[in-house]
Amino acid sequence: MSAPATRQSLPIASDLGKNIDYELFMDCVHCGLCLGSCPTYVETGNENDSPRGRIYLWRAIADGRAPFSPEAEKHMNGCLECMACETACPSGVQYRHVIHSFKNDQARTRGPAPMLGWLQRAMLFGLTPHRGRMGWALFPVKLMQRLGLGWAVRLSGYLMPGFLRRMQEIVPDLAPYHNLPEFLPAIGPKRATVGLLLGCAADAFHPQINLATARVLQHNGCDVHTPRSQACCGALHKHAGLDDDAARLAAGNCDSFAAVPGGLAGLDAIISNAGGCSPVLKDYGHILEGHDAAGPGAVFGGKVRDIHEFLAELGPVKPRHKVSLKATYHDACGLAHAQKIRSAPRQVLAMVDGLSLVPLAENEHCCGAAGSYNITQPEMSAALGQRKSGNIAATGASAALTGNVGCLLQIDRHMRDRSPRVWVGHPVQILDAAYTGEKPFGLNVAIS
């Protein structure tokens, strides 16, 4: 009997799935308790779109029992990498290593994100990770919005190819850019010295969140260092299987923060306000293993804290302003599943007088952003975005809060269609309003 046919452009099966410990496959006992937590399985009901299905599929390919076919590749690429399955799994299956094994082999044999055209890939990897380039690319849109011609920007999308239209639709109302100084002193008694990560797309789309983060840190007694030479965290590259590129960016960021006065040793924490970036930032020691024997990656990663996590650990200062607002909170996957940070955002928001947080159905169900997923898998991303926006609208809240820029963009895009009056923002913007008395960009709220 002849062996199953394989794609001519791919190596033989014996070359695939050999980049992880085989025991990681065997940890999965196929109990199925992950199924209800997996957004793609919930949407399709297809076992191949579930965590255990993907584990079994990639294992079969690694064993040579199944070909690496277009259909298999489609099911594997459909994974959001939200890690909800790891939260649900009673056996402690490290699913992330299985899907990263696939992504690494895919990048090696087919290139990163092979479902995209060359222009899409160029924009994804050549534009998105560079906040300066993103800023220039968004400048015409920002100008049109300032001139009151935002409607023309939206209308122009219908003249664009599908993928450009989808990218254009996700652009929010853009706030004026705030070029943070490299050093901001603590307000009141000094309690800590921190570094602030700006992000790449986050800084281009939502610079007001970085400003709010810096001011909240100042009001909590922190000296804030923001090195200008910092770059993308590398998450986009890591999740695309481009480990060498992720390591290069990680090493550059280690150098940037080592150059602040006092160096890495002088920083009590390195603050991230992007829940999707923090898991990769905290993993710099592993990413740089073999690349940097001196260990700055491990030192850097050990100091990274999500802004909510840091404030909860520090003991936040009580804000003095009342923010009268009914809001709901979406647990970003990178926070809830990858970092197990759930209570800290709610803890710090509970300090704000006048703020009422209402529960959100399917709170930990992925919104469909998932890094570049809304670009690489637009149909599934849209289905999940519509599901999330429907749940948010059902709360009756005036604002939806979430701690990750990708979720902000995705939820805002779908709320514009469903409930355009719902403001979508980051919890730190509400905290900033409570400390300073200034309204967050785009939110009409009573502050006293």
For residues 297 and 248, is the Cβ–Cβ distance under 8 A?
no
Quick one: CATH architecture of 13-110? Orthogonal Bundle (1.10)
Each residue's pLDDT expressed in tens, for the chain with a length of 448 residues: 333 333 444 444 568 989 999 999 999 998 999 999 999 999 999 999 999 999 999 999 999 888 888 999 999 999 999 999 999 999 999 999 999 999 999 999 888 888 888 888 888 888 888 888 877 777 777 777 777 766 666 666 566 666 666 666 778 788 888 789 999 999 999 999 999 999 988 898 899 999 999 999 999 999 999 999 999 999 999 999 999 999 999 999 999 999 999 999 999 999 999 999 999 999 999 999 765 556 889 999 999 999 999 999 999 999 999 999 999 999 999 999 999 999 999 999 999 999 999 999 999 899 999 888 988 898 999 999 999 999 999 999 999 999 999 999 999 999 998 888 999 999 999 999 999 999 999 899 999 9
The pLDDT of residue 322: 97
Phi–psi pair at 353, nearest 5 degrees: -65, 140
The architecture CATH gives domain 318-447: 3-Layer(aba) Sandwich (3.40)
Give residue limits of the domains in the chain: 13-110, 318-447
pLDDT recorded at residue 1:
36
Question: Any idea what DSSP says for residue 398?
Answer: S
Cβ 378 vs Cβ 346: under 8 Å: no
> Using CA atoms, how far apart are residues 436 and 87, in angstroms rounded to an integer?
37
* pLDDT recorded at residue 46: 95
38 burial type by CB count under 10 A (0-12 exposed, 13-18 middle, 19+ buried): buried
Which amino acid would we find at residue 47?
E
The predicted pLDDT at position 147 comes to: 72
d(CA 232, CA 229): 10
Which residues lie below 8 Å from residue 56, measured CB to CB, with a gap of 6+?
28, 30
Q: What is the pLDDT at residue 295? A: 84
Contact 345, 402 (CB under 8 A): no
Give me 243's structure tokens. 């480990």
270-281 residue pLDDT tens: 999 999 999 999
Q: Which pLDDT value is given to residue 45? A: 94
Helix then strand then coil, % of the chain, to nearest 5: 50, 10, 40
Q: Say how far apart CA 250 and CA 273 lie, in whole Å.
A: 17
**Nearest CA among 341, 257, 302 for reference residue 83:** 341
Evaluate whether 13-110 and 318-447 have a shared fold: no
Q: How far is CA 235 from CA 239, 243, 250, 370, 448, in A?
A: 6, 10, 10, 11, 40
Q: If we measure between CA atoms, which residue out of 144, 146, 147, 163 comes closest to residue 155? A: 144
| Alpha carbons 325 and 445: distance in angstroms, whole number | 7
The predicted pLDDT at position 11 comes to: 45
Q: Where are the alpha helices (DSSP H) in 220-342?
A: 235-239, 243-258, 278-281, 284-287, 296-303, 307-314, 333-336
